[in-house]
Amino acid sequence: MTASPKVRGEAPDTDEARQAGTGRNLIALTHDPALAAAVQELAAGGIPVEIVEDLRGLADHLMQDDTAVALLDAQALGVPADAAVDAIKNQFPEVRLLVAGHAAEQNMLASRIASQKVFRFVHKPASTQRLRLFVDAATSQLAERQAGPAPLPSAGASGATPPQGSSSMLPILAGVAGVVVLAVGGWLMMRKEEAPAAPAPPVVAESAPQETSPEVTALLQRAAEALAAGRLVGADGSSAAELYREALRLDAGNASAKEGFDSAIDRALTGAERSLLNGRLEEARVTAEMVRLIVPDNSRLAFLYTQIERELARISADASQRQALEARQAQIRAAVAAVEDRIAQGALIDPPTDNAVTRFREAQNIGGGDPMVRTARDAVVAALLTAADRELSADRPTAARRFVEAAGTVNSSAPGLDFARRRIDEALIQQAALSTAVVSIPVPPPAAPPAAAPATAPAPAASAGDAPASGSAAAPKPAESGPVSASTLRVVRRVAPEYPQFALDSGVSGWVEMEFSVAKDGSVRDVKVIESEPGRTFDAAAVAAMRRYRYEPVIRDGEPVEVRARLRMRFTPQEGR
């Protein structure tokens, strides 16, 4: 695959332009849109840039300028990053390599970063400003190495340079590119498992030709020892960065001091970033603070501080949330304990302001969805229904209703709630029926004294068909001998009784025998239970149904009269279903 077209900011493709830009060109191998955009911003700033898609395209460009700066995106190589670095440096030892990636690639390349095979490791996402700093550092080092007398022309040179892109160069370029690709493949095939080597201190560049003072030499020696021991930054004057900074103060142009200082800062920031990723926030913060004391305007340090502050805010928010949750749980536990205490005391609905129901309301307001509150709710409902059952057994349905209605306010869909309400309704109906069935026995009036015998002979008795004389009382009708059978009456409306649910669920059958009055209009009143089996099981249902019956009025002597009747109503589960 060939290289992509040149991007904006690239120098013209002439010999003079290439010579002027030697070491300043940037060749980037990446498929990452964000990284490519940052690289193109470098092009807008005047740095000639090429973006290629694979190692073959990279080799084509390095053949034209092997002292350029190459930026490798570790995710775009197609081979392990360490293999690619070794192959490129073997073919083009003068190239300055920047590798962009994440912590895993940085760990893989640790030894190559220390030995300067990789000039700088760029953490993604990389900003344009950070890339420019690394490119400037790489090109300035190349410029120092290239300073000196101009090279002599090679033997047999004709003075004419073949034009770039000449057909005579194509086989050579393709061959070299193939060598790079084969070198990477061969390195992968022959590579054996190696134990990870400890990062070695970076190789200090050779001192400048001018003579170094003994004081600077001693500082450089102490700084190198501190760097090898891992004392990278500090505030006591003994760290590598501080010693290199002091050497630069005495000798501003000392390349060894500058390279050592940059290496110490870079390694310190890398260690802080690794500490942050591994959750050692305090360690990362201390290191960043030490770096800030030495280089407060470092752009990489600013990004690191942003990450540390974000992590501190997250930890603080987590701690606040955890404290709030713990306080809420303590409140819930206290409220639930109060509910359990009121249940144990039997204070379910009394006293009105301090009972199990009111305490449950407090717990529900704190944490209605908490498992402890749901358990307390079930306990309150169970205690209320148990109390209602006790009241029903004691024939106190009105008191039972208070407990059942309170249970409904706690959990309106609680199991057993509807059944308890039906039992209460049936008990109240039965209680009302029994109260109306009580017969009052009137006190007979005192007997009238016997009338005096008339002086004259008695008048003859009136016949049954004779009407009484005007102003005289009607003759009393003879008393009934007893209630008649309801079967002798003609029913106008018959009402089926409502089968008690608890009896239906249990398969209980029985009967109820009643006496009642059929009024002159045929309505039923004064219903009284005479006998039932089983006792009191079906009484309320039978009385309620009987009151809704209607008969044809009973006519005697051409007039409707009220009669007393008796009926036995039977209950079977088959009829109730």
Query: What is the three-state SS of 390-422?
Result: HHHHCCCHHHHHHHHHHHHHHCCCCCCHHHHHH
> What does the pLDDT profile of the chain (577 residues) look like in tens digits?
444 444 444 444 444 444 444 456 788 989 998 888 888 888 877 788 889 888 878 887 877 776 678 898 988 987 888 888 888 887 788 888 899 998 888 888 988 898 888 989 998 888 887 888 888 888 776 666 656 554 444 433 334 444 444 444 444 444 545 545 555 555 555 554 444 545 555 554 444 455 788 999 999 999 999 999 999 998 888 999 999 999 999 999 999 999 999 999 999 999 999 999 898 989 999 999 999 899 888 878 888 888 888 888 888 888 888 888 899 899 999 999 999 999 999 999 999 889 999 999 999 999 888 999 999 999 999 999 999 999 988 888 889 989 999 999 999 888 888 898 988 988 888 777 665 544 333 444 555 555 544 444 444 433 333 434 334 333 334 444 689 999 999 999 999 999 988 888 888 899 999 999 999 999 999 999 999 998 888 999 999 999 999 999 999 999 999 999 999 999 988 776 6
Alpha-carbon distance of 61 to 48, in angstroms, equals 12
For the domain covering 15-144+175-188, report its CATH number.
3.40.50.2300
The pLDDT of residue 554 is 93
The pLDDT of residue 274 is 92
What's the token pair of residue 94? 């003068």
Alpha-carbon distance of 84 to 187, in angstroms, equals 9
Are 162 and 70 in contact by the 8 Å Cβ rule? The answer is no
Are 249 and 229 in contact by the 8 Å Cβ rule? The answer is no
| Count of residues in the chain | 577
What's the token pair of residue 423? 């039992």
The pLDDT of residue 62 is 79
| pTM given for the model | 0.33
Alpha-carbon distance of 14 to 6, in angstroms, equals 14
Rama region for 313: left / alpha / beta (φ>0; ψ in -120 to 50; rest): alpha
Alpha-carbon distance of 501 to 419, in angstroms, equals 8
Same fold, 15-144+175-188 and 484-576: no
Alpha-carbon distance of 527 to 514, in angstroms, equals 7
What CATH architecture applies to the domain 484-576?
A: 2-Layer Sandwich (3.30)
CA quadruple 166, 167, 172, 176: dihedral sign? positive
User: How many angstroms separate the Cα of 516 from the Cα of each of 39, 87, 440?
Assistant: 106, 115, 15
How do the domains of the chain map onto residue ranges?
A: 15-144+175-188, 214-297, 327-434, 484-576
Alpha-carbon distance of 424 to 521, in angstroms, equals 33
Are 544 and 429 in contact by the 8 Å Cβ rule? The answer is yes
DSSP string for residues in 333-388: HHHHHHHHHHHHHT-SS-STTSSHHHHHHHHHHHHTT-HHHHHHHHHHHHHHHHHH
